[in-house]
Amino acid sequence: MFENFTIETVAVDEATLHVRYGGEGPAVLLLHGHPRTGATWHKVAPELVSAGFTVICPDVTGYGRSRGRMPTADHSAHSKRSVANDMVQLMTTLGHDRFHVVGHDRGSYVALRLALDHEHRINRLALFDCLPISEHLTRADARFATHWWHWFFFAQPDIPERVIGADPDAWYAPKADPVIMGEANHAEFRQAIHNPEVVRAMLEDYRAGLAIDRAHEEVDKARQRRLDIPLLVLWSLRDDLEQLYGDPLTIWRDWATDVRGHGIDSAHHMAEDAPDALALALTRFLTADGR
């Protein structure tokens, strides 16, 4: 994976980040989701390099081989604001004052917070399989709770650590096909889910989502905060975002002035399931008007 990429551990404040980067040209920060690592981008990143970008693929703080702060009672140590600050410091350390940001799943919430808090650093923003956390929770009904029950299970104290830790493969691996993921990516994913420290951090990510992250978004919404940078929204047609909410772009237009996007013929982990379509959509968005 990641031929000709540099692999480093970068220290930022209270975190150490495992990161891969390569290429030349405008910088693109790729932020993965749960329960993956930065390796999930291994098919997409080389295509972006070939298209003329510098591509940066960290393990998000607490995931994979990146380590962060100890959990706090209010979950602020794992808030998207805290993690977004880590990512900004990473990009500064690597010499990128301005850059594009791409996020999938939980990484998309970090990407959104990064753009809201540091919009002056961001050129374009792309979010996949994502609505703001507060928008999900405002619309939460029995159907949402049935489909996305894991949000509320992960938020419970201690219990999910015990359940997942008893057999991480039984919890995560049945839906992780090494043929689709790639053997090396799959091995990295399995190593991560067998680390209790990683599992705890991933759960804290969800706990922060229902608490402090939601509160931060509600403040932005009350202030009618809207992003002025171009926003690309993509969603997996074989996942349930569109089934739950209809056209996601309708909701996103309350959060950004320039919104475009469409569905991708993919299951949830689109960087692994539909890398060519994803890389093409990203390249078009990042190199031209993108409409």
If you search the block for the tokens 């594009």, which residue do you land on? 100
Amino acid at 272: E
Annotated active-site residue 105? The verdict is yes
Comparing CA positions, the residue from 214, 286, 291 lying closest to residue 44 is 286
Catalytic residue among 18, 32, 104, 105: 105
Burial string for 72-97 (b: 16+ CB within 10 Å, else e) reads eeebbbbbbbbbbbbbbbbbeebebe
Amino acid at 188: E
Catalytic residue among 216, 268, 269, 273: 268
If you search the block for the tokens 């998309």, which residue do you land on? 108
Annotated active-site residue 268? The verdict is yes
Going by their DSSP bridges, the two strands 99-104 and 122-128 should be labelled as parallel
CA distance 2 to 57: 10
For the chain, the straight-line distance linking the first and the last C-alpha, in angstroms and rounded, comes to 31
Residues acting as catalytic residues: 105, 268
